[in-house]
Structure formats: C-alpha cells, structure tokens
Amino acid sequence: MKVLKVKQPASEGIAMGWAYLYQPQERIIADYRVSAEDRNKEIERFEAAVKNAAEELFVLAGENPIFAAHLEMVKDIALQEAVTGKIKGDGNNAEKAVVLACEELILLFEAMEDAYMKERAADIKDIRERLLGQLTGLEKKTVSCEEESILIASDLTPSDTAALDLDKIRGLITRDGGITSHVAILAKSLSLPALVGVKDIFSEVADGDFLILDGYTGELRINPTEEEKQKYHELTGKHKEAEERIKAEEHLPGITRDGKEFHLCANVGNIEDIKKAVTNHIDGIGLFRSEFLYLGSSHFPTEEEQFEAYREAAVICGREITIRTLDIGGDKTLPYYPMDREENPFLGFRAIRISLQEKELFKTQLRAVLRASAFGKIRILFPMIISLEELRAAKAVLRECMEELKAEGIHYDDSIQTGVMIETPASVLCAEELAKEADFFSIGTNDLTQYLLAVDRGNTKIAALYNSFHPAVIRSIRHVTDSAHKYGKKAGMCGEFAGNEKATELLIGLGLDELSMTASLIPGVRYRIRRLDYEAAGKLAEAAVNKATVSEIMELLQ
C-alpha cells in the first residue's frame, strides 16, 4: 500500500472506490490558409459556431452559474475581435484562429499573481474546446465510468464536471489546480470528497487501483489492505453519525455535564453574516467587525450611515452584540484614507492608534454606536490596546460623546460596557490593571499568537512556527482570564482558536466565559462542551499551563 498526501484537502469526507483515470482525447486541429476571397465565409463559420455554443451554454447556465459566465465569455467582443482579426488579417482558418486567440488569453490569465485568476485560464480552455467542438462537429468524450469510481484527471473543466455521472462517482482527484479551483467548489457543493493538486497522481495510480480518499486528512491510500478498508468503513460510519448527532443538539445550550454554561457567539463582518448566524442558535455576536462599513464605502461613513447599520445589526441579532471599533491598518487599508507605506505595518499605525489620533472619525463612530445602543444590547470593544493610557483615552472620548448626546436629548444606553481586545503581549502583561477599568476582555488569538511568537502569520516560510497551542499563548490566556475574574469581569475569545474543537476542553478549563467563532463552527463546539466536565477541564488546563512544549501540550489533549 502506498500513501500520497496533500497539505489541504479541497473537500471533506471519505470516499472509497476504484481509480478511473480520465484523459480527454487530444483534438487534432485543422491548420490551413484561407484565401482572401473566402475569409468572410470563414468568419461566418466562426460566427455560427459562437451562436451554437451560446445556445448550448444558455441551457447549461440554468443549472450552473459558471456556465452563465462562460456564456458571456463565448460572446465576448474582445474574443470575437481577436479571432476574426486572425482570420481576416492573417488568413488563418477558423479553428486555428480560435486556438491562437485563446492561447493568448490563457497565457494572460496564467501569468496573473492571484491564484483565483490564474485558475480562470481553465475557463478559457473550456470555451476553446466548446468552440472547436462546434467547428469540427466532433463532440468530446463524456466522462463515463464504472460504479463506485474515484475520478482522476489532470484537471477538470466546468464542462467535464457538468458531464460527470454523479451516481457512480464517489470522489474527485486532480493533478493540477488549487483549493479555489472549479473542481474544489463543485466537490464541496455536491459534498463529494476531493483532493486537488496531487502532483504524483498519474505516476502512482493506475486504472482500477482501489483507493481510499480521506478528505479530512488529505491522504490518499492506494490499494489498501483489507484491514485498512475495514477501518475506513467504520470511520465513514462514525463521521456520518457524528454529523447527525451534532445536528440533533444544535438548539440545546452550551452547558457542561456538571452544569457550567458557556456563551457561544458568532464573529460577523456584515448584516448578511448576522442574518445567517442567528439561524445557528447563537448566544450573541461576540465580534462585529465594523470595518465592512468603511471598506464598502467610497468615503468615511457618516454618523447617520453608521447608526443605521449598527441599529439594524442590534435589532437583527436580538441578543448581546459586541461592536469592535475601526480596526484598519496592518493588511487592511481604505481607498479614501491614504496611509504611508510602513516598514512593519502590523507594528504600525493601526486600530486604536488611528482612532485616538483621528479623534473626529472616532467620535463619529462612537456616537453612532451609542445611538444604536438604545435599540439593543450593545458592547464596545477597543482593538489593539497596549496600555492603560490608551484605554483611558478611548473611554474619555466615549464620555465626551455621551455628554454631547445627553445635551442633544438623544437616547443611549448609559451603562454600555467597554472591553479591551487582548491581542498584544503588552495587554497580557498589563491585564490586571486593564481589568480594573475595562468591563470585559476579548482575546484575539490570531494577532496575539503572531505578536507573542514574533511569527508573521502571512509568511508561508515560517507557517509551521505559527501555533496557538504554544505554551506562551496558553499561559497568556490563563493570566488574562485570572486577571479578569479577580475583578469580577468576563473574559472571552474571538480568534480562530475559539472554534478549534481540539482546543475546546483546554479553553473552557482556562476559564474563558465566552467563545466566539465563525457561526458554522458553533454546533461542533457546543457538542464538545456538552460532553465535557468543567472540573476535569480545569485540571487539564492546569496541567497544560505547566507543560514546556507544544508537543507536550498536544499529547495531553489526545
């Protein structure tokens, strides 16, 4: 048995079946010169092919939005001009002109930096095949295979995938492409397990080999033993059952067996997210990123625009909602607010630093939040605080806004809570002092891990060093929760770590009161919590805090 592995599976699930190697036939393209007087006829031939291809795509577009884009592409005037130019000007026949014109576009897209755009070259290839099919009158072989197959191809165009016999296919593997490719998107939407970018697939797998595709770990087992097959049969059953069990409890509270209840909240970026999140049985919005209001606008949003958005958010949420004040800088910039290039933008002019310096902008936002607080339960969260002075300065601006509103006779919640985002080593070490003056903490593990470990989380070369299970991160969380509780304040977590089920027992044991994550992760975490013992989790956390290495901590969590 041999095992191939990719870093990131394209679509989750386990598939077992026989390898079916799909190799599209090579098309032989006619290549001849067209005399000057026949060139208009050749153009007509091309135009007829476009018309027929468009009719085909029009039908397909009803089922799949990718083909709606293809329909536009096949009729595209830039493509038309390129092809007719090659017929009229250079005397190419229609087939050759299509090949040449598409080749230029394919090269253009393949040369792009953006992974998504790079993969759009596949769309052009697909259109080329469709037009050539019309011109030559030869249909490409459709994808047909035996029962229980795992389809293997160098790449699959949207047309190939539309022709798949889905009753027989259990999983998909491609040699090329990334996790944003058509194959990946299609596989997810069909709940088919898939691996993409498996470089050695053709040299390692032959037609008819038996395969186990593990879309959880990214592993592909070639000709496994009976024992292995049995193991995976059981695993598949377990995964299915687990999903059903989790779903069955999604409406129940996040409470441990010994009766400790946790708030499970959603992180959201806009009103649409909130609408989706509230269908997921959430206890509130733990992090509302206010940036979307600024990013989606052509100017700094006015107090009125912000008020409307925050009010709507609070009303739709219907429970407590934590609004984080503007957190730009670092990797996020605004088109209408030019920022100087900085050597270290993540250590630069960002988040609360901008708000405190641009006081009028800050006041506009705080006044809008305050006004909205009359319509729902809102908390304010200040990002990237490194000192007590900053917290005091931010609260002073808030008080100023409150006094103004009071004088204007405008209602707001005058007991509105203010929190500190714990995401710098400084805020961890000053947590006790901050806890005296803040109403709550929210630990942002993404930035905290990056700053504590001095590891840039966008740098792929050192990606392996970025790990929130590092003892420094775990001990920081413990210190922050202890400090908060000492002064009767609550501590939550709103980083990606909060949604990591492997970490759930540790996190509740460390004393966090609230976990906020992408809404879709909540049911899994809730299910975990409902099977945990709070007291045992506390002991586990105590042991973890005293471990010296990541691997010792991981071992403890097994």
Q: Which two tokens stand for residue 344?
A: 């270290």
Subset of residues 323 to 382 that bind other proteins, contact rule: CB under 8 A: 333-336
Does 78 participate in binding other proteins (rule CB under 8 A)? Answer: yes
The answer to whether 5 touches 215, Cβ cutoff 8 Å, is no
Restricted to residues 167-206, the positions that interact with other proteins (CB under 8 A) are none
467 forms part of the interface with other proteins (CB under 8 A): no
Q: String of b and e for 547-557 (b: at least 16 CB within 10 Å)?
A: beebeebeebe
Residue 66 sits in the site that holds other proteins (CB under 8 A): yes
29 forms part of the interface with other proteins (CB under 8 A) = no
Nearer to other proteins, 68 or 543 (CB): 68
**Cα angle for residues 67, 73, 74 (degrees, 5° grid):** 90
Q: Pick the stretch among 170-178, 190-198, 254-262, 293-301 that binds other proteins (CB under 8 A).
A: 293-301
Supply 27's token pair: 């098309």
Count of residues that interact with other proteins, criterion CB under 8 A: 29
**Span of 63-71, 245-253, 255-263, 463-471 interacting with other proteins by CB under 8 A:** 63-71
Contact (CB, 8 A) for 15 and 196: no
CA distances 302 to 14, 313, 368, 433, Å, are 50, 17, 9, 34
User: What does the DSSP 8-state code read for residue 349?
Assistant: S
User: In the chain, what is the greatest distance between 2 CA atoms, to the nearest angstrom?
Assistant: 91
> Which listed residue (12, 38, 47, 76) binds other proteins by CB under 8 A?
76
Is 295 a binding residue for other proteins by CB under 8 A? The answer is yes
Site string for other proteins, 94-123 (x = CB under 8 A): -----------x--xx--x-x-xx--x--x
Report the nearest approach of other proteins to the CB of residue 131 (Å). 14
| Token pair in block for residue 9 | 């599976």
210-214 and 14-22 as β-strands: parallel, antiparallel, unpaired? Answer: antiparallel
Within a 10 A sphere around the Cβ of 251, how many other Cβ atoms?
10
By CB under 8 A, tell whether 73 contacts other proteins. Answer: yes
454: helix, coil or strand? coil
Asked if 236 is part of the footprint of other proteins (rule: CB under 8 A), the reply reads no
Nearest CB to other proteins, comparing residues 77 and 166: 77
**Rounded to the nearest whole angstrom, what is the least distance from the CB of residue 132 to other proteins in the complex?**
18
Distance of closest approach, residue 158 Cβ to other proteins, in angstroms? 10
Active site residue 494: yes
Which of residues 6, 10, 50, 79 is near other proteins by CB under 8 A? 79
Half-sphere exposure of 92 (CA within 13 A, CB side): 20
Task: Please compute Rg for the chain using Cα positions.
Answer: 29
Which candidate in 70, 182, 263, 470 is catalytic? 182
Is residue 126 near other proteins by the rule CB under 8 A?
no
Instruction: Tell me the C-alpha distance between 496 and 515, whole Å.
Output: 10
| Residue 131 CB partners (closer than 8 Å, separation 6+) | 46, 49, 50, 53, 74, 98
Q: What is the rounded CA–CA span in Å between residue 57 and residue 65?
A: 10
Residue placing its CB nearer to other proteins in the complex, 56 or 204: 56
The minimum distance between CB 338 and other proteins, in angstroms, equals 12
Q: Which stretch binds other proteins (CB under 8 A): 23-31, 289-297, 399-407, 479-487?
A: 289-297
Catalytic: 263? no
35 touches 91 (CB < 8 A):
yes
Instruction: Decide if residue 71 touches other proteins (CB under 8 A).
Output: yes
Binding footprint of other proteins on the chain (CB under 8 A) = 65-66, 68-69, 71-73, 76-79, 105, 108-109, 112, 114, 116-117, 120, 123-124, 295-298, 333-336
Catalytically active residues, by annotation: 182, 494
